[in-house]
Structures are given as structure tokens and as C-alpha cells.
Chains A and B, each alone.
Chain A
Amino acid sequence: AAGVIQSPRHLIKEKRETATLKCYPIPRHDTVYWYQQGPGQDPQFLISFYEKMQSDKGSIPDRFSAQQFSDYHSELNMSSLELGDSALYFCASSTNRQGPTGTQYFGPGTRLTVL
């Protein structure tokens, strides 16, 4: 079965650079979520999109922005990178057509290292 695809899997950037992370949800899933997991931490919700509109926003820095495109893939744009942005970034997708909060399926994550 198709899973959530994230690219790139690994990314190394310098401080103050920008990074773009991509997420391709499971086909026919209408909702995408982004989470950040710091070293030794639990995943923290950043932002979500339902049917290409931002649906919820968590602890996402103003330096970060995201969008969902017409083909339902999503991109997380991160600017002015800081050392503390080094983390695993997960994308998850679900379908909420039958009601809220169904199973969220996670991608393999993008490991971002900021030097």
C-alpha cells in the first residue's frame, strides 16, 4: 500500500539558510499534518491543512510557512535557520471525510541538521 512520502530524507544547512521540505500524502487523503521532533523529544504539532486550506496552527515559528497544493502535496518552508531547528520533521496524512481525527499515517521524516 502507498505510504506518505517525504523528501529529502536528510538535509544539512548552514545557519540563516532556507530549507524546503516536501510531503506527498497517501492518495485520497485530504488532510496533511506537520510535526517536529527534537532529539530525545516527543513529536510536536506545527501546522495542518485540510483540502488545501490551513486548518490548524501549533507552535510554528514565524520563520516557517507551509502550504498544500492542488495535488494535495504539501511543502514546509523554513527560513533564517537556527541551530535549534535541527530535528526530525514528520508529515502525516489522514482522511477526515468520515469524521474528525481518523488514523494519522506518518512519513519516514526529514532529518534536518543546521550547522
Chain B
Amino acid sequence: SQQGEEDPQALSIQEGENATMNCSYKTSINNLQWYRQNSGRGLVHLILIRSNEREKHSGRLRVTLDTSKKSSSLLITASRAADTASYFCATDDRGSTLGRLYFGRGTQLTVWP
């Protein structure tokens, strides 16, 4: 598998706290994307970070990428109950132009009101 593990597998926090999720991957990439999935529903694209970028922000989301360590983190600040979902990172393969994504196993985030 191209993907390593996502860490943690499950995260439970209170509203207002920050949530940090990490993922690792194995091969060189063009970009890394984070997706959110509410229970058994569709994958919602959150953010894409390219291999030449180190940090990217979108609203309450902050993504970092460390290509030397082949890892990325997703920070959700001031979390809300509505942020409860599974979060997946997905990478492509730098050696390919075909674009298939390799997903990590995901982090199940629960935010308590």
C-alpha cells in the first residue's frame, strides 16, 4: 500500500478544542488531499496541498506537509459538533500522471457539545 497509517485512528474532543490528525505515506507525491466523510456518506474535499508547499490554510483548517518525513497533518481549530466525521488523507504517485488516489485508513473525529 502507498499509504501508511493515519494517527490517531479515533479522536474525541470537546467543542472549542483543536483537533490534530496525522497521516504518513510511502512514496513521492505530486500532492496530498484531505477529505471528510460523514457516516457512510460521500467524500467532501477539504484541501489540497502540493509537494512544493509546506503549509496551507482554509478557514479553520490548517494543513502541513513534510515531504522529507512523508507526513502531513490536518489541524481543525475551534472544533464544532458538526465537525464530527471521518477524515482521510489521500495521495497520488509522483511517478505517475494517471492521478489515482491512495487513501489512508482515516481518523474518526468525535466532537462533543
Residues of A within 8 A of B (CB): 31, 33, 35, 41-45, 48, 55-56, 58, 88, 90, 92, 94, 96, 100-109, 111
Contacts and interface: CB of A to CB of B under 8 A. Distances in A.
A42 B104 contact: yes
**Residue picked from B41, B43, B92, most chain A C-beta under 10 Å:** B43
B100 A42 contact: no
How big is chain B's contact interface, by range? 20 to 34
A109 B41 contact: yes
7 contacts: A33-B99, A43-B43, A43-B88, A43-B103, A56-B98, A58-B100, A104-B45
Contacts of B45: 103-106
Interface string B38-54: 00111111001000000
A111 B40 CA distance: 9
A88 B108 CA distance: 18
Contacts of B35: 106
